[in-house]
């Protein structure tokens, strides 16, 4: 006997919701998923009417679902938002070039404007060129730091009030776990926040409307809605550490589906003891972007690339910042250390 949808009791159930275990028909699942995102947006007051919002769009499932749902809810509930797709081209042949084609199709499908900013135009380096110099061990450090700044620069060009990103519940839970394992208190405190205010000039507030959406449900939503998205992994994706956290979380989820939300709640409820030293935010002496050191991470990484010293921005070399700024030459020993690359 076919199982009936536990919500409408009229149609046949086609799926079991990973988050709740309820058997639902397609339409009731769509409605439940969309309403939960709407509730998240309303409860956290993520947007104000009249705001212009950049949707970080990579062509992957998360950002494609985000763009689709943001457009739909903006119309259904008259949020009054002006939406634009904002993409970063890291310059990864065989990956980002293809996924950007997906974003361009999404732009047509959703009738939203699209802005693409590229590492090449912003930094003079593509990820292909960076990997040639730094190898496959630290490439994601470069990519992650550059992406964060690239999104801000794109948002400033577009003059949007906010950026929303497709981070889902699994991403947030993984990040909580990683920050606990690394003892990174400052990041642990920030990573569960659903929205961040501007931390200074050049930093655009960000929010995560899919913060409570399970990855499995995003995949189901994209699949049943037949959304056009790109599902190939980045060809330079080692990111082993996140991979372990991910596998661990998936194991927990298979035993107890609520584990993902439980980890997020644990992260949200951790409080930091008074007196724990937090990095003080200032601005980069070179580019003016926020930084807790004399130079921002992006400028140090870039300096390392341009000087053929790829390890300059990897690890802690803060004491070299003044030398970089004053263009004082490095000692032979320092140069040797910063050149070594493990491929």
Instruction: Give the SS3 label for residue 217.
Output: helix
Kindly report the length of the chain: 343
**Rule CB under 5 A: is residue 67 a binding residue for Zn ion?**
no
Q: Which of 56, 117, 145, 234 binds ligand SF4 (CB under 6 A)?
A: 234
**Rule CB under 6 A: is residue 127 a binding residue for ligand SF4?**
yes
Cα–Cα distance for residue pair 301/304, rounded to 1 Å: 5
Rounded to the nearest whole angstrom, what is the least distance from the CB of residue 140 to ligand SF4 in the complex?
A: 3
Pick 70 or 143: Cβ nearer ligand SF4 = 143
Q: Which of 164, 194, 213, 296 binds Zn ion (CB under 5 A)?
A: 296
Evaluate whether 166 touches 173 at the Cβ level (below 8 Å).
no
Q: Which of 29, 40, 57, 90 binds ligand SF4 (CB under 6 A)?
A: 90
Pick 237 or 283: Cβ nearer ligand SF4 = 237
Rounded to the nearest whole angstrom, what is the least distance from the CB of residue 88 to ligand SF4 in the complex?
A: 9
Q: Which of 117, 155, 284, 320 binds Zn ion (CB under 5 A)?
A: 284
**Rule CB under 5 A: is residue 286 a binding residue for Zn ion?**
yes
**Rule CB under 6 A: is residue 239 a binding residue for ligand SF4?**
yes
Which residues between 257 and 276 bind Zn ion (CB under 5 A)? none
Report long-range pairs for 37-40 (Cβ below 8 Å, ≥24 apart). Answer: 37/69, 37/73, 37/209, 37/210, 37/213, 38/73, 38/76, 38/77, 40/194, 40/209, 40/210, 40/211, 40/212
Query: Of ligand SF4, Zn ion, none, which one does residue 90 interact with (CB within 5 to 8 Å by kind)?
Result: ligand SF4
| Residue 265 neighbours by CB distance under 10 Å | 14
Rounded to the nearest whole angstrom, what is the least distance from the CB of residue 70 to ligand SF4 in the complex?
A: 22
Which residues between 128 and 187 bind ligand SF4 (CB under 6 A)? 139-140, 143-144
Instruction: Give the SS3 label for residue 299.
Output: helix
Rounded to the nearest whole angstrom, what is the least distance from the CB of residue 304 to ligand SF4 in the complex?
A: 16
Report long-range pairs for 283-291 (Cβ below 8 Å, ≥24 apart). Answer: 283/200, 283/201, 285/325, 286/325, 288/201, 288/202, 289/149, 289/152, 289/200, 289/202, 289/203, 290/199, 290/200, 290/202, 290/203
| Residue 266 neighbours by CB distance under 10 Å | 14
Interaction pattern, residues 35-74, with ligand SF4; x per rule: CB under 6 A: ----------------------------------------
Considering only the stretches 81-89, 283-291, 309-317, 327-335, report the one whose residues sit in contact with Zn ion under the rule CB under 5 A. 283-291
Which DSSP string do the residues of 57-98 spell out, in sequence order? --SSHHHHHHHHHHHHHHHHTT---EEEEEEEE---TTTHHH
Rounded to the nearest whole angstrom, what is the least distance from the CB of residue 149 to Zn ion in the complex?
A: 8
Rounded to the nearest whole angstrom, what is the least distance from the CB of residue 144 to ligand SF4 in the complex?
A: 5
User: For tokens 């501007």, what's the residue?
Assistant: 198
Number of residues that bind ligand SF4 (CB under 6 A): 10
Closest CA to 126 of 100, 97, 105, 153: 97
> Residue 342 corresponds to which tokens in the numbers above?
């493990």
**Rule CB under 6 A: is residue 289 a binding residue for ligand SF4?**
no
Considering only the stretches 173-181, 206-214, 236-244, 279-287, report the one whose residues sit in contact with ligand SF4 under the rule CB under 6 A. 236-244
Pick 90 or 303: Cβ nearer ligand SF4 = 90
Residue 185, classified by CB atoms within 10 Å of its CB into exposed (0-12), middle (13-18) or buried (19+), is middle
- Binding residues vs ligand SF4 (CB under 6 A): 90, 127, 139-140, 143-144, 234, 236-237, 239
- Binding residues vs Zn ion (CB under 5 A): 284, 286-287, 289, 296, 299
């Amino acid at each position: 006997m076919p199982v009936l949808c536990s919500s409408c009791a009229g149609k046949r159930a086609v799926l079991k919701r990973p988050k709740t275990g309820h058997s639902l028909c397609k339409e009731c699942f769509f409605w439940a998923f969309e309403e939960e995102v709407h509730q998240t947006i309303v409860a956290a007051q993520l947007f104000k009417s009249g705001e212009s919002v950049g949707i970080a769009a990579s062509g992957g499932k998360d950002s494609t679902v985000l763009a689709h749902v943001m457009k739909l809810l903006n119309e259904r509930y008259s949020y009054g938002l002006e939406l634009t797709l904002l993409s970063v081209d890291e310059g990864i042949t065989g990956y980002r070039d293809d996924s950007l084609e997906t974003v361009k199709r999404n732009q047509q499908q959703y009738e939203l404007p699209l802005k693409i900013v590229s590492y090449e135009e912003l930094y003079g380096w593509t990820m292909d060129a960076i990997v040639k110099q730094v190898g496959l061990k630290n490439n994601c450090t470069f990519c992650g730091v550059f992406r964060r700044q690239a999104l801000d620069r794109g948002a400033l060009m577009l003059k949007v009030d906010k950026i929303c990103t497709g981070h889902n519940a699994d991403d947030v839970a993984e990040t909580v776990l990683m920050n606990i394992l690394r003892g990174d208190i400052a990041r642990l405190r920030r990573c569960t926040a659903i929205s961040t205010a501007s931390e200074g000039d050049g930093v655009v507030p960000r929010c995560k409307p899919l913060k409570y959406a399970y990855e499995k449900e995003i995949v189901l939503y994209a699949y049943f809605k037949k959304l056009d998205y790109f599902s190939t992994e980045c060809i330079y994706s080692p990111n082993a550490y996140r991979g372990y956290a991910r596998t661990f979380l998936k194991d927990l989820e298979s035993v107890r589906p609520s584990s993902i939300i439980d980890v997020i709640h644990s992260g949200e409820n951790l409080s930091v003891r008074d007196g724990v030293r937090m990095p003080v935010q200032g601005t980069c002496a070179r580019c003016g972007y926020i930084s807790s050191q004399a130079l921002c991470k992006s400028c140090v990484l870039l300096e390392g690339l341009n000087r053929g010293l790829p390890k300059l921005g990897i690890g802690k070399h803060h004491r070299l910042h003044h030398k970089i700024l004053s263009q004082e030459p490095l000692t032979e020993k320092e140069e040797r250390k910063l050149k070594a690359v493990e491929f």
